[in-house]
Structure 1
């Protein structure tokens, strides 16, 4: 066995794990509003706060920039992505088009898939009054991912994931209040009911109402900034 290669692979794996943790921590700070849209990221300050070196921190910046949560500006470094109302409208239109296509091609879920969606939504309901906003947001994303993957259109699934990430921070702001979180859980129940009944029109209607409600909440948050 090549000891050098084994040790090197271990160092690479440790670096990747460290970068993944940094990505998760930075994403959390963005979603909960501790890092605001348009805010410039100070590498030294964040490195000290997270207890990491600047090399994996910069790698995390690059990943988050690729996901659309950060922007890189020449001679300025990285800033938290800031969307205009017009940009959010475009993202909403893209999301609507893509998700409508996925819904139209859906393969009706079996009992196990329905139970999975119900469990995710129940877990969200348990967190309506929780202070852990990121948990709620991640469960919401997992719920929608479970619905999207009922479609065989894998390329469109990947694209709707990309569009989701570009607007993640703003759509996440929609869930800043318990009332908005409760509305999401209720909309999900309507989506699950439509899937259970295998009613395509009802499914499209419930999905559309949920998208529009989320966009409205995100727009209201943008107006307050």
Structure 2
């Protein structure tokens, strides 16, 4: 039997909650690339059975965030330097197209981006790295969403999630945290002028600095 509709809804809700809890653990570096995920411990911590934990891990495996090995279980995906470079190469290509498709933004849309960046500023002051990561993603995907290229934005989202454990690393540096806000402000200014090519240039520099920080923090060869 597949269960009643309420049971199915509860299971789906439980799985979604576990997925978000695991994402929060990745952002906080409680889980790091290469680390094994113990289903029993995770279920006990989150107060759920192993069933939603197992389904959540399968969902994250489909995204490339987790890997499963027979007789070993799930581990957080570890990307090598070449794989990480490919993720950022794909991001550059797709994000450029999305930014070039942006219309002239309204005052309300620019205000929303400003509000999101100010929220990041509050997290910078608190040194809340997990909050900065979540806020940074909210800022960029709100901006991307104004393009109307929903399928492309979905693919960008997949790439961001795959590299999430790595994007957190550079934000443990105080100057990198402050730089995120400054660069976002410049993007908002360019968008206010309708200068999408300027936003593309700023985004490329923003992304490239993150990659440089990552290579330095992880001891990877320069890209």
Structures share fold, TM-score greater than 0.5: yes
Provide the aligned C-alpha RMSD in A: 1.8
Of 79, 82, 91, the match for 1:83? 79
The aligned residue for residue 159 of structure 1 is 155
User: Would you say how many aligned residue pairs link Structure 1 and Structure 2?
Assistant: 219
What does 1:124-135 align with in structure 2 at a 5 Å threshold? 124-135=120-131
The aligned residue for residue 22 of structure 1 is 18
The aligned residue for residue 49 of structure 1 is 45
The aligned residue for residue 106 of structure 1 is 102
State the distance in 2 between where 1:110 and 1:208 align: 24
1:145 aligns with 2:141: yes
1:173 aligns with 2:189: no
Of 198, 206, 225, the match for 2:202? 206
C-alpha spacing 1:14/1:132, structure 2 compared with 1 (3 Å)? farther
How far did 1:121 drift?
A: 0.2
Q: Is the 8 A contact 1:19 1:59 kept in 2?
A: yes
Q: Is the 8 A contact 2:32 2:165 kept in 1?
A: no
Of 125, 132, 140, the match for 1:136? 132
SS of residue matched to 1:129? helix
How far did 1:63 drift?
A: 1.5
**For structure 2, which runs of at least 5 residues remain unmatched after alignment?**
none
Q: Is the 8 A contact 1:85 1:222 kept in 2?
A: no
State the distance in 2 between where 1:135 and 1:16 align: 25
Q: Is the 8 A contact 1:171 1:217 kept in 2?
A: no
Q: Is the 8 A contact 2:18 2:46 kept in 1?
A: yes
Which moves more between the two structures, 208-217 or 108-117?
208-217
Of 91, 97, 106, the match for 1:95? 91
SS of residue matched to 1:72? strand
State the distance in 1 between where 2:22 and 2:162 align: 15
State the distance in 1 between where 2:14 and 2:127 align: 26
How far did 1:131 drift?
A: 4.3
SS of residue matched to 2:168? helix
The aligned residue for residue 181 of structure 2 is 185
Taking structure 1 as the reference length, the TM-score comes to 0.90
Taking structure 2 as the reference length, the TM-score comes to 0.91
SS of residue matched to 1:214? helix
